[in-house]
């Protein structure tokens, strides 16, 4: 029996959509699967489009035939002009201009049954059939009514409105997206606010940390002061108890003796505590000075052995020091290394009842570090307690603790001392089998800043300037400042190297940085001022510490604040050496030895020395080279000094050249009067570099000023 | 009149067809898309039909047209997100889309376009 489910007329384009949507809905209701729903809807779409296109309207009916083979039937009919070449269309020979030329044939392929009749002038009818899937339940009329109602209801909705609705939905989604974007922005804002908050919090934390640091400093100062205060009365107690025990003031009853012994040992314990406290306070206050020196581990072990043997009680515990012959010499603070090891060992002794305490040293060539280890066969430390033992007063609670008392300061002190020397401490321990404490230290505390002695060759065309600067970067800056000047920088990084350079050559100036070890730097400066050979070398002190007055009081000729402007440095060098470096000095002396002496005394580079063996040649030379100063001997054959000075003053071109008389004679007043034209008279007896240099500079300066 | 929105992503245009298009809409889309390609100098066109349940011969022809037009305008067209049911139906319908490249999703579509542009640049 055939039942009509739905019928609708089609007039406009949007009806195509309506028709195919309905066919899809119906197919779905009739339990066709998704693929068949699409097939049916597509086929309907193809046929309906043709109807609208060729007949400008028509009608679609949906039927259900529940015969032997249940069939869903769709009949599309129009009253248009009909299809004149139906055959061609059905055979696929027709070329459509709208579709892909597959509309009708394609639709036929998609359906199970397809008939198309067309009467020219009357219209066309297309019947599409699809077998119902077997799972479709028997369709009662009630079901069919429900389906048609459903579809009719949907039909009320205008398809255009449907499209609009969907578009609106999309707009809503876009809006939603926009809102999400805004939300994100707000979130972002919140995050950056939070960030600001965190930054503010950090500042606050920093402030708190500062407070804590100050409190810590206060604590350290308190500790250090109090410990000192404690020591005095403790000393009294110890000495007094010692006095009592020595029975100088009469005998003690045995009970009394015991009591005094207790007083004494209590005082000793307290002293140890106070000493440790004081040490820690010193380290924390940065007052502990590390004084590195060279020593061998073998010697250190020897000393420790002697010190610690007496502490061992009984024979139950052995203290063994391993051979340390293969460890190279160390350059660090021996006292502090010894203190650390003493702390480790006495600790080990305290907690080891029987067995062995072994001390050895390992040398690591690669890292240039030594590791001292102290292993005991004592109680051991549980892992949870390991962190505690390095803290001040951090003692491990345990059965053994009741018997053995420590100050709780030994290990923290060891740690602090090790850190002071650039090292670390560590411990490995197994409860019950023992602990192994170790301290690792750099072999040499100077290793970091030891640089090889710089190599240089003196450039004969340049004036050597010694630069003493430990900071490589600053040194580089200073050297750079002198590039392409007439100075040759010779940079060294240590005072030892500076001394080596000074022993080797005579620079025209010294540029001295007041280094970390300021005292040493000042000492070098003072040394150069006291040494005859170097006193004439102008010294320029550069520093960040604004110590001009100090520098000048130690004899510096110039003081420059760091960072040094290259031009200022060169100007200073020019000023200090400039005129002098080109002080052309003519030496007139017949004695080879005297000439040699003065040649040696005058700093090379600062003086350009020309020598003449007689007054005659000297005067000729003076006329030729126009020296800045003439050093004149008095006692010479043929023409002596008196005559020479006379001759010089009579020559217009030579009369302005200052003359210094250098003589080994003791002059009478008359003789001095004869030499009134000489700028200065110096004695060859006690001639030294400073005397000579100062005399020449003095005279030249005066002449320059007079000329100016 | 409803419009299918055309979005610009870099030098590509994205057309996401979310509604069951009627024929005039499809023709409008053709027009506005070609205009936009010229306006934006787009090098690629992505047509997302993942929401379409029915692609008939008309839409098929429209896609083909768009592909041919954009090729003339030096843009590569890729149809993405075709549902399996739609694909099967298209084949059964006997509809071939010779000028239309397809990709599984927008990401792959963009990659395909990028590769095509690069290849084109090499050959040029």
- ipTM of predicted assembly, 2 dp: 0.81
Judging contacts by C-beta atoms under 8 Å, the chain A residues touching residue B58 are: 45, 49, 98-99
- Residues in a beta bridge with A371: A362, A440
Whether A45 sits inside 8 A of B54 (CB atoms) is yes
Contact partners, residue A84, CB within 8 Å, separation at least 6: A120
Judging contacts by C-beta atoms under 8 Å, the chain B residues touching residue A24 are: 53-54
Give Cα separations from A410 to A275, A280, A390, A499, B114 (angstroms): 10, 9, 9, 43, 72
Rounded to a whole number of angstroms, the distance between the first and last alpha carbons of chain B is 41
Candidate from B2, B18, B89 with C-beta closest to A38: B89
Candidate from A24, A39, A98 with C-beta closest to B92: A39
Coil, strand or helix at B80: strand
- Residues in a beta bridge with A9: A59
In this predicted model, what pLDDT tens digit does every residue of A226-266 receive, in sequence order? 777 777 788 888 888 888 888 877 888 888 888 888 888 88
Candidate from B23, B53, B64 with C-beta closest to A13: B23
The reply to whether B17 falls in a domain is yes
Instruction: Give the separation between CA A164 and CA A161, rounded to whole angstroms.
Output: 5
What mean pLDDT is reported for chain B? 86
What is the arithmetic mean of pLDDT over A412-437?
A: 86
Half-sphere exposure of A30 (CA within 13 A, CB side): 29
pLDDT score of A579: 46
Whether B20 sits inside 8 A of A99 (CB atoms) is no
Instruction: Give the separation between CA A707 and CA A234, rounded to whole angstroms.
Output: 77
The reply to whether B1 falls in a domain is no
What is the phi-psi region of residue A546: left when phi exceeds 0, alpha when psi lies from -120 to 50, beta otherwise?
left
Candidate from B23, B53, B95 with C-beta closest to A102: B95
Judging contacts by C-beta atoms under 8 Å, the chain A residues touching residue B100 are: none
Q: Which of B56, B64, B92, B97 to mutate to test the interface with A (most CBs of A within 10 A)?
A: B56
Judging contacts by C-beta atoms under 8 Å, the chain B residues touching residue A42 are: 54-56, 89, 93
Coil, strand or helix at A2: strand
Residue B118 sits at the chain A interface (C-beta within 8 Å): no
Is pLDDT larger for residue B16 or for residue A145? Answer: B16
Tokens for A150, please give them: 């459903």
Rounded to a whole number of angstroms, the distance between the first and last alpha carbons of chain A is 140
Contact partners, residue A333, CB within 8 Å, separation at least 6: A290, A291, A292, A293, A420, A421, A445
| Residue that has been written with the tokens 């350079």 in this structure | A501
Banded pLDDT at A459 (limits 50, 70, 90): confident
pLDDT score of B13: 92
Residue A446 sits at the chain B interface (C-beta within 8 Å): no
Residue A99 sits at the chain B interface (C-beta within 8 Å): yes
Is pLDDT above 60 for A451? no
Q: Minimal Cα distance from A174: which residue of B?
A: B5
Is pLDDT larger for residue A599 or for residue B120? Answer: A599
The reply to whether B64 falls in a domain is yes
pLDDT score of A665: 76
Q: How far is B119 from chain A (nearest CA, A)?
A: 31
The reply to whether B62 falls in a domain is yes
pLDDT score of A705: 63
In this predicted model, what pLDDT tens digit does every residue of A110-123 receive, in sequence order? 888 888 888 888 88
Residue A38 sits at the chain B interface (C-beta within 8 Å): yes
Residue B85 sits at the chain A interface (C-beta within 8 Å): yes
Whether A100 sits inside 8 A of B57 (CB atoms) is yes
- Residues in a beta bridge with B25: none
Residue A23 sits at the chain B interface (C-beta within 8 Å): no
pLDDT score of B48: 92
What is the arithmetic mean of pLDDT over A427-438?
A: 86
Q: How far is B17 from chain A (nearest CA, A)?
A: 10
Residue B7 sits at the chain A interface (C-beta within 8 Å): no
DSSP assignment of A319-360: EEE---TTSPPEEE-HHHHHHHHHHHHHHHHHH-SSEEEEEE
Q: What percent of chain A has pLDDT over 90?
A: 4
What is the arithmetic mean of pLDDT over A378-407?
A: 69
What is the arithmetic mean of pLDDT over A263-277?
A: 82
Judged by average pLDDT, the poorest of A87-96, A113-122, A349-358, B1-10 is: A87-96
Coil, strand or helix at B16: strand
Coil, strand or helix at A126: strand
Tokens for A619, please give them: 């005067």
What is the arithmetic mean of pLDDT over A494-501?
A: 80
Judging contacts by C-beta atoms under 8 Å, the chain A residues touching residue B94 are: 102, 105-106, 109
DSSP A138: P
Of B65, B117, B59, B112, the residue nearest B86 (C-alpha): B59
Whether A14 sits inside 8 A of B58 (CB atoms) is no
Is pLDDT larger for residue A293 or for residue A461? Answer: A293
Q: Which of B57, B59, B92 to mutate to test the interface with A (most CBs of A within 10 A)?
A: B57
Domain holding B63, by residue range, is: 6-122
What is the arithmetic mean of pLDDT over A127-155?
A: 76
Whether B53 sits inside 8 A of A41 (CB atoms) is yes
pLDDT score of A479: 81
Judged by average pLDDT, the poorest of A66-70, A487-491, A626-630 is: A66-70
Q: Minimal Cα distance from A44: which residue of B?
A: B56
Q: How far is A167 from chain B (nearest CA, A)?
A: 7
Judging contacts by C-beta atoms under 8 Å, the chain A residues touching residue B92 are: 39, 106, 109-110
Q: Minimal Cα distance from B3: which residue of A?
A: A167
Judging contacts by C-beta atoms under 8 Å, the chain A residues touching residue B57 are: 46, 99-100, 102-103, 106
Contact map slice: A 288-347 vs B, CB within 8 A: none
The reply to whether B113 falls in a domain is yes
Residue B89 sits at the chain A interface (C-beta within 8 Å): yes
Angle of helix A592-601 relative to helix A689-707, nearest 10 degrees?
A: 80
CATH number at residue B12: 3.30.750.24
Residue B104 sits at the chain A interface (C-beta within 8 Å): no
Q: Minimal Cα distance from A103: which residue of B?
A: B57
Q: How far is A368 from chain B (nearest CA, A)?
A: 58
Is pLDDT above 90 for A372? yes
DSSP assignment of B105-122: SHHHHHHHHHHHHHHHHH
Judging contacts by C-beta atoms under 8 Å, the chain B residues touching residue A103 are: 56-57
| Residue that has been written with the tokens 């998704």 in this structure | A34
The reply to whether B40 falls in a domain is yes
Whether B85 sits inside 8 A of A34 (CB atoms) is yes
Judged by average pLDDT, the poorest of A323-332, A387-396, A419-428 is: A387-396
Whether A35 sits inside 8 A of B89 (CB atoms) is yes
Banded pLDDT at B80 (limits 50, 70, 90): very high
Is pLDDT above 50 for A448? no
Judging contacts by C-beta atoms under 8 Å, the chain B residues touching residue A13 are: 22-24
The reply to whether B32 falls in a domain is yes
Is pLDDT above 50 for A447? no
Q: Minimal Cα distance from A107: which residue of B?
A: B93
Full-model pTM: 0.36
- Residues in a beta bridge with A693: none
In this predicted model, what pLDDT tens digit does every residue of A197-216 receive, in sequence order? 888 888 888 888 888 888 88
pLDDT score of B124: 46
In this predicted model, what pLDDT tens digit does every residue of A522-566 receive, in sequence order? 888 888 888 877 877 888 888 877 778 888 888 888 888 877 777
Burial (Cβ within 10 Å: 0-12, 13-18, ≥19) of residue A179: exposed
What is the arithmetic mean of pLDDT over B8-28?
A: 86
How many folded domains does chain B comprise?
A: 1
Contact map slice: B 19-48 vs A, CB within 8 A: 19-20, 22-25
Q: Which of A19, A40, A97, A102 to mutate to test the interface with B (most CBs of B within 10 A)?
A: A102
The reply to whether B115 falls in a domain is yes
Banded pLDDT at A463 (limits 50, 70, 90): confident
């Amino acid at each position: 029996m055939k039942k009509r489910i739905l019928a609708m007329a089609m007039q406009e384009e949007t009806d195509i959509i309506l028709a195919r949507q309905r066919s899809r809905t119906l197919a779905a209701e009739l339990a066709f699967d998704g693929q068949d729903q699409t097939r049916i809807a597509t086929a309907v779409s193809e046929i309906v489009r043709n109807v609208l296109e060729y007949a400008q309207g028509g009608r679609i009916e949906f039927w259900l035939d529940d015969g032997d083979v249940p069939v869903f039937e769709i009949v599309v009919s129009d009253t248009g002009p009909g299809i004149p070449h139906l055959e061609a269309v059905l055979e696929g020979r027709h070329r459509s201009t709208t579709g892909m030329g597959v509309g009708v044939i394609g639709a036929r392929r998609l359906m199970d049954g397809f008939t198309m009749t067309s009467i020219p002038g009357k219209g066309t009818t297309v019947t599409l059939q699809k077998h119902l899937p077997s799972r479709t339940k028997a369709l009662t009329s009630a079901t069919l009514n429900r389906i048609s109602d459903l579809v009719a209801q949907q039909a009320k909705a205008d398809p255009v409105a449907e499209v609009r609705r969907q578009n609106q939905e999309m707009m809503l989604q876009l809006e939603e997206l926009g809102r999400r974007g805004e939300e994100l922005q707000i979130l972002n804002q919140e995050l950056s606010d939070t960030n600001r908050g965190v930054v503010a919090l950090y500042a606050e934390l920093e402030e708190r940390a500062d407070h804590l640091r100050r409190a810590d400093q206060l604590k350290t100062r308190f500790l250090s002061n109090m410990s000192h205060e404690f020591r005095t009365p403790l000393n009294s107690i110890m000495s007094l108890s010692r006095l009592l025990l020595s029975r100088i003031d009469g005998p003690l009853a045995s009970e009394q003796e015991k009591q005094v012994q207790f007083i004494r040992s209590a005082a000793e314990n307290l002293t140890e505590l106070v000493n440790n406290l004081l040490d820690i306070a010193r380290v924390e206050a940065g007052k502990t000075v590390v004084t590195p020196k060279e020593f061998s581990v073998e010697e250190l072990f020897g000393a420790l052995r002697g010190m610690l043997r007496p502490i061992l009680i009984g024979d139950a515990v052995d203290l063994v020091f391993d051979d340390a012959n293969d460890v190279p010499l160390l350059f660090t603070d021996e006292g502090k290394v010894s203190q650390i090891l003493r702390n480790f060992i006495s600790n080990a002794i305290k907690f080891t009842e029987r067995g062995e305490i072994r001390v050895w040293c390992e040398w690591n060539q690669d890292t240039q570090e030594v590791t001292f280890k102290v292993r005991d066969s004592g109680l051991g430390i549980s892992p949870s307690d390991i962190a505690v033992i390095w803290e001040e007063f951090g003692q491990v609670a345990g059965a053994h603790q009741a018997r053995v008392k420590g100050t709780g300061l030994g290990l923290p002190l060891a740690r602090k001392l090790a850190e002071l020397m650039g090292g670390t401490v560590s411990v490995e321990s197994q409860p019950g089998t023992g602990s192994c404490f170790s301290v690792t230290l750099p072999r040499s505390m100077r290793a970091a800043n030891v640089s090889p002695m710089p190599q240089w060759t003196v450039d004969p065309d340049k004036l050597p300037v010694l630069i003493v600067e430990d900071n490589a970067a600053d040194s580089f800056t200073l050297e750079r400042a002198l590039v392409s000047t007439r100075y040759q920088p010779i940079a060294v990084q240590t005072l030892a190297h500076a001394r080596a350079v000074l022993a080797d050559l005579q620079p025209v100036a010294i540029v001295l940085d007041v280094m970390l070890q300021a005292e040493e730097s000042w000492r070098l400066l003072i040394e150069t001022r006291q040494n005859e050979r170097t006193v004439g070398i102008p010294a320029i002190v550069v520093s960040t510490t604004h110590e001009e007055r100090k520098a000048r009081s130690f004899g510096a000729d110039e003081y420059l604040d760091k960072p040094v402007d290259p031009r200022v440095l060169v100007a200073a060098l020019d000023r200090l050496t400039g005129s002098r470096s080109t002080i052309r000095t003519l030496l007139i002396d017949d004695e080879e030895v005297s000439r040699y002496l003065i040649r040696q005394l005058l700093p090379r580079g600062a003086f350009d020395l020309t020598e003449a063996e007689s007054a005659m040649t000297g005067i000729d030379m003076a006329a030729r080279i126009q020296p800045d100063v003439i050093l004149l001997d008095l006692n010479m054959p043929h023409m002596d000094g008196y005559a020479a000075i006379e001759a010089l003053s009579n020559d217009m071109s030579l009369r302005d050249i200052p003359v210094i008389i250098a003589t080994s004679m003791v002059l009478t007043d008359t003789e001095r009067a004869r030499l009134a034209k000489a700028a200065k008279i110096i004695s060859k007896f006690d001639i030294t570099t400073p005397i000579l240099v100062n005399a020449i500079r003095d005279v030249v300066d005066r002449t320059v000023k007079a000329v100016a | 009149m409803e419009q299918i929105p055309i979005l610009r992503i870099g030098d590509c245009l994205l057309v996401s067809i979310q509604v069951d298009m009627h024929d005039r809409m499809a023709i409008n889309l053709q027009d506005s898309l070609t205009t936009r390609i010229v306006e934006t100098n787009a090098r690629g066109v992505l047509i997302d039909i993942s929401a379409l349940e029915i692609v008939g011969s008309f839409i098929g022809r429209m896609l083909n047209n768009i592909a041919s037009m954009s090729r003339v305008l030096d843009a590569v067209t890729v149809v993405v997100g075709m549902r399996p049911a739609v694909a099967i139906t298209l084949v059964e319908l006997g509809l071939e889309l010779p000028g239309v490249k397809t990709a599984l999703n927008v990401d792959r579509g963009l990659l395909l376009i990028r590769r095509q542009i690069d290849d084109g640049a090499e050959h040029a």
